Amino acid sequence: MFKTDLHVHTSEVSMCADIGAVTAVRLYKEAGFDGIVITNHYHSLFFESRRENAWEDNVDQLLRGYRIAKGEGDKVGLKVFCGMELSFYGENRNDYLIYGITRDFLVGYPYLCDICLADFRKIADENGLMIFQAHPFRRWMTMMPPKMLDGIETFNGHARHKSYNPAVELYAELNGFKHIAGSDCHDITNVGTSGIMTEHPVATDEELVDVIRSQDFEIYRK
């Protein structure tokens, strides 16, 4: 089985993370994972002191953790995929895991954190992206309508947050949501607590999106 964590942060970009990209890759390799998705935070706080920068420079800074992880993954034999955890702070405090992004996409759509989910839904549909609401039952989260989402994160492996995973799983089942799982890794204690397992290897970001869309996987819980 090919095991992938769909929710990993690195300290190069996510201010709340205490684990660097190189360390994360090595630890996931040691933990028996085959792939990880770097989903660093894309929100207004990241750009607070960067609004005067050229947008392409901001994109490169946003992808720094992914690029470092990808380079290390190529060395040690761990697939590293590109995602993000996007927040629209003018709307609410929700977080959304986005799959299928590329540098070219990010360059073409500046400051996505300044819009709202409804507007981003249109952009995602035009670009073949998938939107999953992260840990939707945590405190301060607002559960969004099914038409705004592709699915929800039904199992979040972060031990220091109450994500109410069983309730989220039941909610997804009752409402027909697609589901995903990830460790929400921010430090070494979160490495490899959850993810998905597929029968066949996943080689590209496009293949990962296809797997998530088809739901052809099993949930892994440590």
Percent of the chain exceeding pLDDT 70 equals 100
Nearest of 102, 96, 108, 118 to residue 42 by alpha carbon: 96
- Quote the number of domains for the chain: 1
- pLDDT tens-place string over residues 63-92: 999 999 999 999 999 999 999 999 998 999
- pLDDT tens-place string over residues 108-129: 999 999 999 999 999 999 999 9
Instruction: State the residue range of the domain holding 171.
Output: 2-221
Q: Per the confidence metrics, is the pTM higher than 0.95?
A: yes
- Per-residue model confidence (pLDDT) at position 41: 97
Nearest of 117, 123, 116, 133 to residue 180 by alpha carbon: 133
Q: CA separation (Å) from 92 to 68, 82, 172, 197, 217?
A: 31, 24, 21, 32, 31
CATH number, position 19? 3.20.20.140
